[in-house]
Structure formats: structure tokens, C-alpha cells
């Protein structure tokens, strides 16, 4: 136990740097994935068959292939056609497109869950389809899927550890670096496992609180 706390303190700068990169990538992945996910969800619900096909192919491919393969395709495969990214850029792009596929399905379910009568009422009041979507449908859909978005954020925090495979100094890579210095293969991993747990546990509790507040506001 003493070794655990001593190592956590002695290498705190490395662990904190890894934590910063992990959180940065998770935030970028969810925020950019959120925007892209909304676009893909709307494409899947479009009246144009070609847009529906593109969006469906996007979602099915990204959900049907391992994220590690997607990361290697972006970081090692795209340079073959002239597109080259830094490790952190490749990590951010991978997390963004991967989360967009899952968030797109979440948004699509949220949009379809909005009462069709409200859409018809807004149109009868003279609102255009774009105005109805912006002011009536999307706000309600976003509110209903907010807990699911939070769960995706937690998932991305855990899955972001794959970026260590291409040299991003996240928590996992920092743990491997400390192992190479101390020749201790267990303690650094236990420390980052605890850090991941604290992050995800705290976020899950915050999400639970937010969900209860949203439920309470719906009952008013």
C-alpha cells in the first residue's frame, strides 16, 4: 500500500499529464461527435435516399468495426493517400467519428420520440420545417437523450486508452512509461485503474442527479 501511494505521489506529474490528455480527448470526442451525430441522425431521417444510404453506411461501418482498427486506419492508413495527422489529432478524429455513430442513433430515437402532434401544431401556426426542427423537436429530443449522451462520455473516457497505441501520452501510456522506469508492472496500472474509476463513478453520479432533476421538471 505504501508503494502505491509513494508511486502516485512521486510520479504525480506524469499521471496528471496523462489525465489531462485523457479528458481532453474525451471532451473533443463527445462534443464533436455530438455535432456530427446530429447531422448523421438528420441524414438518416432525410427524404433523400442517397443521404439515408450514406448515413446508414456510416453508422453501420463504425459500429461494426473495432475502434482500434479505425484508429490505425486513420493514423497509419491515411498517410498512404497524403493525409497525415499527429497522434493526438488521429486520436481525436477516431473518438469523434466513433462516438458520432452511436450518438446519431441516440438522437434519431430522441427525435422520433417527440410527439408528432407538436410538429403538426407548429406547422399549423406557420412555422417552417426548419423552425419546427430547431425550436420544437431538437430541444425536446436533446432533453430526452441527455443521460444517454452522458453515458457515451463515460464510455469514451474508458475507450480513449487506445490512443496509447499510437503514442499519445494519456493515462495508459504514462503508466507504461513509469513501468519502464521502476520495473513495476502492477502498481502504475492499479493507479490509473483507480483514476479511471473515480472519473467514471463521479460522472455517473452527476448523470443520475441530472436525470432526477430532468424527471422532476417534467412532472411540474
Q: Which of residues 62 and 130 earns the better pLDDT score? A: 62
Distance CA 206, CA 203 (A): 5
- Kindly list the structural domains of the chain, giving each domain's residue range(s) and its CATH number in brackets, ordered by start: 2-219 (1.10.3720.10)
Q: What is the mean pLDDT of the chain?
A: 89
Q: Are 102 and 151 in contact (CB under 8 A)?
A: no
Q: Are 174 and 17 in contact (CB under 8 A)?
A: yes
Q: Which of 40, 30, 59, 62 is nearest to 149 (CA)?
A: 30
Q: Which of residues 111 and 10 earns the better pLDDT score? A: 10
For the stretch 138-170, pLDDT in tens is: 788 888 788 888 888 899 999 999 999 999 989
Amino acid at each position: 500500500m505504501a508503494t502505491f501511494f509513494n508511486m502516485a505521489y512521486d510520479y504525480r506529474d506524469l499521471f496528471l499529464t496523462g489525465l489531462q490528455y485523457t479528458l481532453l480527448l474525451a471532451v473533443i470526442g463527445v462534443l464533436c461527435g455530438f455535432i456530427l451525430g446530429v447531422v448523421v441522425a438528420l441524414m438518416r431521417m432525410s427524404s433523400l435516399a442517397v443521404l439515408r444510404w450514406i448515413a446508414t453506411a456510416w453508422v453501420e461501418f463504425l459500429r461494426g468495426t473495432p475502434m482500434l482498427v479505425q484508429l490505425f486506419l486513420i493514423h497509419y492508413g491515411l498517410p498512404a493517400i497524403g493525409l497525415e495527422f499527429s497522434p493526438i489529432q488521429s486520436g481525436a478524429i477516431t473518438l469523434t467519428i466513433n462516438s458520432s455513430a452511436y450518438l446519431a442513433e441516440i438522437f434519431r430515437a430522441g427525435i422520433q420520440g417527440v410527439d408528432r402532434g407538436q410538429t403538426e401544431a407548429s406547422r399549423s401556426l406557420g412555422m417552417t420545417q426548419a423552425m419546427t426542427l430547431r425550436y420544437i423537436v431538437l430541444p425536446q429530443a436533446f432533453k430526452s437523450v441527455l443521460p444517454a449522451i452522458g453515458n457515451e462520455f463515460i464510455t469514451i473516457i474508458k475507450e480513449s486508452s487506445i490512443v496509447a497505441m499510437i503514442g499519445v501520452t494519456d493515462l495508459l501510456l504514462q503508466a507504461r512509461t513509469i513501468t519502464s522506469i521502476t520495473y513495476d508492472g502492477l502498481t502504475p496500472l492499479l493507479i490509473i485503474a483507480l483514476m479511471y474509476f473515480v472519473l467514471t463513478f463521479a460522472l455517473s453520479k452527476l448523470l443520475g442527479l441530472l436525470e432526477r432533476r430532468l424527471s422532476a421538471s417534467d412532472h411540474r
